[in-house]
Each structure stands twice: as structure tokens, then as C-alpha cells.
Amino acid sequence: MSDHPLVIFTPSGKRGRFPVGTPVLTAARKLGVDLDSVCGGRGICSKCQVAPSYGDFPKHGVTVREDALSEWNAVEARYDRVRGLKKGRRLGCQATVQGDIVIDVPAESQVHRQVVRKAASDRPIVMDPATRLVFVEVEEPDMHEPSGDFERLRSALKDQWQIENVTAGLPLMRKLQPVLRKGKWQVTVALHQAQGSDAMRILDIWPGLHEGGIYGLAIDLGSTTIAAHLCDLSDG
């Protein structure tokens, strides 16, 4: 056994060699691993909980023995008795390195962990989406009626959906011809209407009847939290 075992932290992948007897929390701090602690290593806050792994790890090139960390001490035993430790967890400030070891830092032990402060919930939504899908049948090209694909698509939207004043960007125009022909002149169009505007813009087009769904994400960006609501724009 080496006097300076290899310590590997996941999910960060940071690693380094440390003298036998080095506390896991100390190793983490020296490697810049995101492991929390606010009690100064006294085993009170429990924020430095880690989950050691044992066995063969070909990916990391190490074999971790059962005695790779020191045995439970009185501080860990007291904390487990009073507040409880999840099975397999150790306190990083109390467990010391005895051999090569792979240590996972759970999300709740990370200083910069992501925090979801608002639960997901279902709620009724009045549907008035700015973007919607419509299916149209476009007239095929006719040598006796010279008109472009876009003109005939606009005519189809007007005749079949009473939608006028339609625009489209260059990316849409580039894919219009192959999509119309692939759909055999039947296509599904995604139309967007900006608030307060009469004009509608074609965002995308699919051959035939598009059944892949259309979704909207409403994002509330606050000073300390971000909340998002995902909505199916077809039925709310």
C-alpha cells in the first residue's frame, strides 16, 4: 500500500495523491472539489457527506479495498445516532484516507448545487398561443399559371384558413421546395403572430401532417430564482 494513496472524486473527476491519514474534506479542498462544510470539520453540520465506492474501477485504473477509508469514529457514530446518515455515507471531515479511494460527492453536499425551489405542478391554461400549426394542401405548379411555391402556399393559407399577410425568412424559403415535394403538396406550417401585429411569420414547415407536437416554455427569470412552465401549445 502506498504512503500517498490516490484519491479520485466524482462527478468532477478531480484526483490527487495524499498522505495516509488525510481527511477526505482536506483532500477535497486541496483539489478544489465542490464539497460543502460550515462547521469547521467538527462533524456537526453534516454538509460534507460523501459516498465512497469500493471494488475495481478500470476506468480510473484503481482497485479500492474495503479498508481504503478509516473506520467510523465516535463523531460519525454520534451524528448517525442523533440525525441519521444514509447507508454508505461518511462525513468527509471525519473519514481519513488509508488507501486508493473513489469518492462521490452527492448533489446535496456540493456548495454550488442546483436548487429547485418551486415544485412542478399541473394547472389549467387558457390557450391563446402566439405559435400554432396548420395543415394545408398547396396547388401543384402549373406551366399555365406561373407562380412560385411561396405564393401558392400563401394562397392555400388564405383559402383554407383565412390567414393573410404571411411572411417567411430565408432559411424557410430554402427548404420550402423540397418539403412541398416530399409531402406531395400537403404540408404542416408553424405560424407565429407577434403580440399586437396582424402579420404572421412562418417559422417552420414539415411534409404531410406533422404529429410531433408543438411546445412552449414560459420562463420567469427573477433575482434569485428561475421558474419555467412547459406547455403543450395544442391543448394546454
CB 168 within 8 A of CB 190: no
Name the nearest CA neighbour of 205 among 188, 191, 192, 193.
188
Q: Are residues 138 and 202 in the same domain?
A: yes
Choose among 94, 104, 97: nearest CA to 43: 94
Distance of alpha carbon 133 from alpha carbon 110, whole angstroms:
43
* Residue of higher predicted confidence among 38 and 13: 13
CATH number at residue 136: 3.10.20.880
Q: Is the pTM of this model over 0.75?
A: no
* pLDDT bracket for residue 28 (50, 70, 90): very high
Q: How many domains does the chain have?
A: 2
pLDDT (0 to 100) of residue 132: 87
Which range among 113-117, 128-132, 173-177, 191-195 shows the weakest confidence by mean pLDDT?
Answer: 113-117
Inside any domain, residue 114: no
Is there a single domain that holds both residue 104 and residue 184?
A: no
In a domain, 205, yes or no: yes
Q: What pLDDT, on the 0 to 100 scale, is given for residue 121?
A: 74
Closest CA to 216 of 200, 195, 188, 235: 235
Q: Are residues 170 and 100 in the same domain?
A: no
Evaluate if residue 236 carries a pLDDT over 80.
Answer: no
* CA gap 106, 87 in Å, rounded: 13
Does residue 25 sit in the same domain as residue 91? yes
Do 102 and 148 have their domain in common?
no
pLDDT in tens, 125-163: 666 788 888 899 999 888 777 788 999 999 999 999 999
Q: Is residue 115 one of the residues assigned to a domain? A: no
- 111 has pLDDT over 80: no
pLDDT of residue 114: 61
Looking at the structure, do residues 98 and 166 belong to the same domain, yes or no? no
Residue 231 covered by a domain: no
Tell me what pLDDT residue 116 has.
66
Report the C-alpha gap between 125 and 129 in whole angstroms.
Answer: 10
CATH of residue 104: 3.10.20.30
Residue 224, domain member (yes or no): no
Residue 23's domain spans which residues? 6-109
